[in-house]
Amino acid sequence: MPLWTWLVPVLALGSLIAAVAVGVGPGLALLCGATLIGAVFVAVHHAEVVAHRVGEPLGTLVLALAVTAIEAALILSMMVAGGQDAAVLPRDAIYAAVMIICTGVVGLCLLAGGLAHREQTFRVEGAGAGLAALIVMAVLTLVLPVFTTSTPGGTYSRSQLAFLAVSSAVLWAIFVFVQTVRHRDYFMPAANASDPEVHAEPPTTGHAWASFGLLLLSLVTVVGLAKMLSPTIEKAVEVAKAPRAVVGIVIAALVLLPETVAAVRAARANRLQTSMNLAVGSALASIGLTVPVVVVASIAFNLPLVLGLSPKDITLLTMTFLVSAVTLGTGRTYLMQGAVHLVLFAAYLFLAFVP
């Protein structure tokens, strides 16, 4: 195992401990930012080691599940600490994750793959089923609360929250069963003779377990450092006179950075199926795992929870799903589709800054 693959996570953990102990000053903020970026790339490396050991499509679940579990824990801790002010935090985090993945990550993958290989293919059966589940989850979570009448202001009643939590968890669990057991071939990438990673000798069991542990350590430090740097980000947002929702977008982007790097690298290596598995699986996990945790916490601790989006955000979400359905409907992509997704991502970011 190369020295940097375990030294960087240790340095990132040290930066996190120092930030917690003494606070984040200007110098320490730069150190935390540098080690955060390093931890992101180390997380990608270890995720790929584990993925190569367990094979596809189980490998693509490793990074998505690890990141989403830590993201859910981060949202829960901020909800408990924030009280009334954190009522919209889960909504903003889930919406940001879906938009970043479905427009930014997918767009980067299609553009990078199209520039490198002109055209790429993937299995429509797997991506289409994942997108259908994602649309149902997102509408139940982010859109319907605006139109229900049991409670006002984009909220759900307790019984409605319970139904949302159960249906999201069940739908996500069924998708994972289909992806890994029942129809595993729908998510398997085609053999690629030009990619040396496909034919490389798999790592030993000990090496894979060590990489798994370092992956978790890297992801914990990424989320922890992102949280410690959030006040600095908030100050920068205030200086720029941008809406507070931008803070959630920045933190979500930092948390999703490992998956983004892994997905783009797979696309450039002509493994677009792996990129699609990562993107769709991550978006589904961001709802299927986060929503039940948030709902249970909201009911158990009597925390306020606002889920309904504004009309502007509902419009952007609808457009994203329409474009994604067109993109994933043929199983063949090229750079034009990537450009469309990235323009939509740019519109999402621009309207977040200038609502």
| Tens digits of residue pLDDT in 223-271 | 788 778 777 776 777 787 777 777 778 777 877 887 788 889 999 999 9
- What pLDDT is attached to residue 112? 93
Q: How many domains does the chain have?
A: 1
Q: Is the pLDDT of residue 192 over 70?
A: no
Q: How does pLDDT run across 8-56, given as a tens digit for each residue?
A: 889 989 998 998 888 878 788 888 888 888 887 787 788 778 877 776 5
> Whole-angstrom Cα distance, residue 281 to residue 129?
11
Average pLDDT of the chain?
Answer: 84
Q: Is the pLDDT of residue 346 over 60?
A: yes
Residue 306: φ, ψ to 5°: -110, 120
With b for 16 or more beta-carbon neighbours within 10 A and e for fewer, the 89-112 pattern comes to: bbbbbbbbbbbbbbbbbbbbbbbb
> Whole-angstrom Cα distance, residue 187 to residue 173?
16
Q: Is the dihedral of CA 291, 214, 261, 272 positive or negative?
A: negative
Q: How does pLDDT run across 77-128, given as a tens digit for each residue?
A: 667 766 666 788 888 888 998 999 999 999 999 999 999 998 999 888 888 8
Q: What is the CATH number of the domain that holds 131?
A: 1.20.1420.30
Amino acid at 329: G
Both structure tokens of 133: 């589940």
Domain hosting 323: range is 4-353
Q: Is the pLDDT of residue 63 over 70?
A: no
